[in-house]
Amino acid sequence: MTNLGVPDAVHACLFDLDGVLTKTAVVHAAAWQETFDDFLRRREGPGFRPFDPVADYDEYVDGRPRADGVRSFLASRGIELPEGAEDDPPERDTVHGLGARKNGLLLEKIHTQGVEAYPGSVRYVEAVRAAGLATAVVSSSANCRDILVSVGIEDRFDVRIDGVVAAERSLPGKPHPDTFLAAATDLGVEPAAAAVFEDALAGMDAGRAGHFAYVVGVDRVGQADALRRHGADTVVDDLAELLEERP
């Protein structure tokens, strides 16, 4: 293992955004909760079962493209909605309408609450670059670039594969490995020479399905065992732990 906490064969590091680099996962969860609870309350009445911002978020929406998250969670409740169109307004009860509602709430929360990067993650990315390894950010978020710019770390990444790029290239989102594989290809490395850094269970699945050299699970919400079950080679609470001295 190198002093970066990854195998010597690793020449590129592929980082998820929300929950790994930036403190936005909790904001996403809150936006999803508000969106789904409003929909369920109108559909099922005051006795509806609320969206769980930890268990439901981790299992059904975290790391997935927005529309996939809508479909996945609603399927868990036995609900199927019309797909609608990508430009559906947020008040329309379709897959894309709920997705638009969630994105509007997310942007509002980011604007009012602000965004921060995890200091340990920034330190780790800088150490990775100082060691000569290539870097990429891989996110399902269509707001990825704006968030990177807002926290001042856009220039730390050689490649960005986000929701916008994935749509342009017709790449399926996590848990499929395609976005991570695209990042590796753009960096000019094989999966066997790249490490994946993720906090989402779907991201663990994607890292393992892509046969990457190493998959690091970042546990921000107390789900270390689940991250390991989904394929993490190691689990840390913060990426700075990987910089600690190793024998």
Which positions are annotated as active-site residues? 16, 18
**β strands within the chain, DSSP E:** 12-15, 134-138, 159-161, 194-198, 214-218, 234-236
User: Reduced to 3 states, what is the DSSP secondary structure of residue 240?
Assistant: helix
195 and 236 Cβ atoms separated by less than 8 Å:
no
Q: Is 5 left (phi over 0), alpha (psi -120 to 50) or beta?
A: left
Please name the helix (run of DSSP H) or strand (run of DSSP E) that holds residue 15, with its range, or none: strand 12-15
CA dihedral 65, 203, 139, 33 (to 10 degrees): 50
